[in-house]
Amino acid sequence: MPDTLINVSNDLADTVAAADRGVLRVDGRHRVAATGVAWTADGVIVTASHVLERDDSIEVGLPDGESVTATLVGRDPTTDLAVL
């Protein structure tokens, strides 16, 4: 039983580490950053629509600390989703 718990713990830690690379900082409000998820490897990001107070000058913080400019592709306030 102890080996099973160790294996589950290690697998969970690996999963969290892998997911961490896909979580990004989205600066689309004046004071507080939000998060987004890297949806595809070619740069599509999904975030909540309500975190974007503006449609331009959106910055995305990458896991390596670099920041890049993002373009709002679309948003749907009824589902609270936005695509960058």
3-state secondary structure of 9: helix
Mean pLDDT across 22-27: 86
Domains and CATH numbers, the chain: 22-83 (2.40.10.10)
Instruction: Name which residue leads in pLDDT, 55 or 71.
Output: 71
Comparing CA positions, the residue from 66, 29, 28, 22 lying closest to residue 44 is 22
pLDDT at 1: 57
Rounded to two decimals, the pTM is 0.73
Contact 75, 81 (CB under 8 A): yes
